[in-house]
Structure 1
Amino acid sequence: MNYQSKIPSCVFGGEGCIARIKDIIEKENAKKAIIFTDQGVCAAGLLEILTDLLEHAKTLYQVFDALASEPSYQDVENTMKEVKDYSGDLIIAIGGGSVMDAAKLCSVLKDADYAVTDLLHHPALAKKQIPTVMIPTTCGTGAEATCNAIVAIPEEQSKQGIVNENMIPDYVILDPQMIRRLPKSIVAATGVDALAHAVECYTSRKATPFSDTYALASAKLIFQNIRKAYQNPEHMEAKNSLLLGAFYGGVAIAGSGTTAVHALSYPLGGKYHIAHGVSNAILFAHVMEFNRDACETRLAALCDGVYPELSKQASSEKARYIIEQIADIVKVTEIPTDLGEFGVRPKDLDFLAEAGSRQQRLLVNNRKELSLEDIRAIYQKVLK
């Protein structure tokens, strides 16, 4: 078995490390920066921390802050029209997964002779045009470490991932101050999303020794800290552990890939606009329970790494324990688990099953094959 792992070439971590943006500017000899962010980041005062540093470094910048949450490919097209007339030699994303995905797409679309619609069908076309810096302001998407960008496809009422190694960020800044005032609901949704990355990658058909190392490290950090970070917003050690765990989970994705949890979440975001982390949380324990007999050994090994005190228990018990912990985390973090709360009705199950079954890029990673009826049954479990 041959395997590889591609990760960002330079990662900064620790309180105040956003100041290292000056080192990046100097190394890249950057004169003009294109900044991607959103209104929430601006309102929280986080963008100002970055722009003050850029002004001190006498680096010009243009801010694009009207990015849609969970953007469609048309949203990306519209953003590229805005960016088209602005020249820049460094792209900086400060925000959550949607912001970072848009920035990664911009890094391969700026001044290129192809468009985002071309990449939907032929992602191999993508070539990096401008170096990127990712500054995550949530503790969960892992987008700062991956070569993926997720966009909604409104006409299909679903989402699709554009995957190309040229979108792997060049620099990552993991500064805990960026998540100090993160709302509890965002800690919950993004933290569970990151945990899904870890568990799915560890149980993926494409898992490798490289991805296992990062997935296990991610799982340990998140399982042990997400409740503390949610219940005590001032617990910065726990929040910093989530930030690091999310990054490790992103590296694991680049090495192996997520599975059926993410595959089945895409139609929920595409049609019902359920936040990505929430849709994953709703499905997470149910999908892993479906997978349990095919993933028992892997789940037991994950349990050994996270909860070594249970190492003498039978594999079946350890696998069951991990799934119970996932369900408990979703409950403790108060994430809604009934699709009915989001407007999903029993008549929608056929659409969901069909749309979920089309996510073959991820379903092929799942260790247990899902039939159309299996997928429908999973959605049925979360429609009360």
Structure 2
Amino acid sequence: MQLFKLKTTVHSFDHFGEFAKDFELGANDLVITQSFLYEPFMKALNLPCVFIMQEKYGMGEPSDEMMNAMLHDLKGKEYNRVIAIGGGTVIDISKLFVLKDLENVVDAFERKLPLIKSKELIILPTTCGTGSEVTNISIAEIKSKHTKMGLADDAIVADHAVLIPELIAGLPMRFFAASAIDALIHAVEAYVSPKSNEYTRMFSKEAIVMIMNVFSAIAARGADERLKYLREMAVASNMAGVAFGNAGVGAVHALSYPLGGNYHVPHGESNYQFFTEVFKKYFAKNPKGLIQEVNGILADSMGCPVRDVYEELDNLLGALMEKKPLRAYGMKEEEVRGFAENVLVTQQRLLQNNYVPLSVDEIEEIYRNLY
């Protein structure tokens, strides 16, 4: 039984220019990024790379239409390395672009073509949440199916992950909070996964403690406090990625996908809505075991009794980002049952990582409680 794997080499630099020099960026590199990152960090370096600005192809979460349009524009371009510099959208897109003979990304998500890696992949995350720089997972909205699909395969894992704190510094508080809460969810879901073990829980626990300490500092002293902890958050997010890359994430992510796919709610914000409600359901069904351990870690981080952990966690996260009822995003009450059924049918890849199994009625109850 495989316990642990990390196929990605992790690097750290203080400044982007140091990375560009060390990795010898050149004409055979495809850089997928966004203009607001290109202008301050790359433009002055006059790099001879092939650049593509993701926002030209649409805003928000990655979709098959967005990715296919980018593939079309890259026809005839020669490159040996794909360098992703951005948040979750840029990273998820870039992972697909290393595949051989890719013309329609839906074929990859549905595994209708052999998944063969033909280019080196280097990822520089610019949020503190995805952890995707060390996972073999890419997520995209498949417009025709009105849901998100995930592809998990070692063909799309990064060869190198590069942590550069200055790339996170310009992240507005709202996006910082959403991505950082997402990193916490990665670590907590991975901790209670049936696939977790001593190795993955070591990474989960360290990530949880680091993130919770930063959250407490921000809640006590204000949003600007986050700027003191950029490196810590980059490392903690990366550790959470290592944990969930091996142990997986479960129902929090699974339940969030229909909300994100149908109402275009950003990934981290969507996950946040379901976090404590899913764990309350887990705890009600089986209060012993790994959930007891992770609740203890969270309670210790907040200095509260374990019995108050979910209430205090909601209070702490609420100080960073407002939690909204699902109807505030446009979800209709008559959709609740359909969402629950859709999750059970389409998200088994994630639901197999649940702390305890959830029935369609229990999933529906979670949606109704949050509606």
Using the TM superposition, give the Cα deviation of residue 204 of structure 1 relative to its aligned residue in structure 2, in angstroms. 0.6
Q: Which moved more, 1:331-340 or 1:362-371?
A: 331-340
**Distance in 1 (alpha carbons) for counterparts of 2:316 and 2:73:** 41
CA-to-aligned-CA distance 1:210-261 (integer Å, 9 cap, x gap): 2112111111111111243473325433232222111111111211100100
Which residue does 2:12 correspond to in 1? 13
Task: State the percentage of identical aligned residues.
Answer: 27
Counterpart secondary structure, 2:323: coil
1:1-384 equivalent positions in 2, closer than 5 A: 1-9=1-9, 11-16=10-15, 19-25=18-24, 31-38=27-34, 42-43=35-36, 45-53=37-45, 55=47, 59-65=48-54, 66-68=56-58, 69-109=60-100, 112=101, 115-122=104-111, 125-229=114-218, 231-292=222-283, 293-294=285-286, 296-305=288-297, 318=306, 320-358=307-345, 359-383=347-371
Q: Quick check: 1:226–1:242 contact (8 Å CA) kept in 2? A: no
State how far apart, in whole Å, the 1-side matches of 2:281 and 2:266 are. Answer: 23
Larger mean Cα displacement after TM superposition, 150-159 or 296-305:
296-305
TM-score, scaled to structure 2: 0.90
Q: Check the 8 A contact 2:124/2:162 in 1, yes or no.
A: yes
CA distance in 2, matches of 1:123, 1:286: 36
Offset at residue 183 of structure 1 (A): 0.6
Q: Unaligned 5+ residue runs, structure 2?
A: none
Change (3 A) 1:237 1:300: farther
**Aligned partners of 2:179, 2:279: CA distance in 1, in Å?**
18
Contact 1:17/1:173 (8 A) holds in 2: no
Mapped partners of 1:297, 1:124: distance in 2: 41
The alpha-carbon distance between structure 1 residues 54 and 61, as it changes in their structure 2 partners (threshold 3 A), is farther
Decide whether the 8 Å contact of 1:142 with 1:247 is kept in 2: yes
Query: Equivalent residue of 1:162, what SS?
Result: strand
Task: Kindly provide the CA deviation profile for residues 280-306 of structure 1, in whole angstroms up to 9, marking residues without a partner as x.
Answer: 000100001101143643233235545
In 2: Cα distance, 1:164 partner to 1:54 partner: 34
SS of equivalent residue, structure 1 residue 161: strand
For residue 128 of structure 2, give the secondary structure of its aligned residue in structure 1: coil
Change in Cα spacing, 1:120 to 1:63, as seen in structure 2 (3 Å) is closer
Alpha-carbon RMSD across the aligned residues, in angstroms, is: 2.4
Q: In the alignment, is the contact (CA less than 8 A) between 1:229 and 1:239 conserved in 2?
A: no
Secondary structure (helix, strand or coil) at the match of 1:233 reads helix
Call closer, same or farther: CA 1:218–1:124 in 2, change over 3 Å: farther
Give yes or no for contact 2:217–2:225 (8 Å, CA) kept in 1: no
Secondary structure at the residue paired with 1:197? helix
Q: Is the 8 A contact 1:145 1:168 kept in 2?
A: yes
Q: CA offset at residue 142 of structure 1?
A: 1.1
In structure 2, distance between residues paired with 1:139 and 1:330: 15
Helix, strand or coil for the counterpart of 2:236?
helix
- Secondary structure of the 2:181 match is helix
CA distance, structure 2, for counterparts of residue 304 and residue 336 of structure 1: 23
Q: Match of 1:15, SS?
A: coil
Distance 1:94 1:368, change over 3 A: same
Q: Summarize deviations over 1:120-148 as a string: whole Å, max 9, x none.
A: 22288322111122111111111111110
1:344 is matched by which residue type in structure 2? M
Distance 1:238 1:103 in 2: 27
Measured in 2, the distance between the counterparts of 1:268 and 1:309 equals 30
SS at match of 1:63: strand
